[in-house]
Amino acid sequence: MQITRPKILICIGDSHCSIIYTYGKTEKQTMAYGVIFFISVIFIQSLLADDNLSKEEQSKLKRYVQDLFDEKIAEEIKDLKTRLNEAEKHILSTEQKNEESGSSNLSRRYLMMGAGSPVGFMACVSPADLLNLGDKHTILFDKIITNTGGAYHNHTGVFIAPVKGLYEFQLSAMSSAGSHLYLAFVRDGTVISHIYPDAAGSSSYETAGNQWVVELNQGSEVWIQTQTGGTIHGNCFTVFSGFLISEME
């Protein structure tokens, strides 16, 4: 139950006034406390108005009322701090529940996407250089670093999709100084796009890279091939990788 906290305006003399908020565990207790507090202060104010009181007695009563105000304000501050701490705990608890719920939903989505059978690979060209490559020559990324799911075949250089889904692939290729080469990303015999590591006329190595996100059917094949003849630098500086993002129906 939300409690509307009554407030009382109390004045000592003509100038010292303050608003006092009352409180209690229940609404009835709150109202009773306010009434008692109000009557007490009114009684004290009537004593202060009595001309028969000495200045010392009036001074004591004023100090007593001031102490009463100070105590009430201190209680009010303590009560506000308690409420603030409770609100902070509630917010933190809510955020934690939301995070746990989000993680749970993410896990369910991940499982629905076929995360029980992950697919991913990373392979590189291990020889120092692949020389005198012909046109439409499939690059063999012979050194396998990762091949979860076994979908990449290093003896042919071809990735075969084990399931229908959305996949991501990346290629980083390096040309030796003075050489250049067009490379193509191919899906089921169709060239999707090219990269061109160009070190012609240069005394240093040059690297080019690209990234593709494509839909593949089960059994679809992906590979990297030359678009024109040339030379490519190896020593695992030329790397091909890919993984399944999510399965599709």
What pLDDT digit, counting tens, does each position of 31-69 carry?
A: 555 555 555 656 566 655 656 667 676 676 667 666 666
Give buried/exposed letters for 124-134 (b at 16+ CB in 10 A, else e).
bbeeebbeebe
CA atoms of 99 and 70, how far apart (whole Å):
43
Q: Against a cut of 0.95, is the pTM above it?
A: no
Average pLDDT over residues 22-33: 54
Mean pLDDT of the chain: 78
Sequence letter at residue 121: F
Tell me what the mean pLDDT of segment 123-146 comes to.
91
**Using CA of residue 133, residue 204, residue 200, residue 227, what is the dihedral sign?**
positive
Q: Is the CA virtual torsion 98, 100, 102, 105 positive or negative?
A: negative
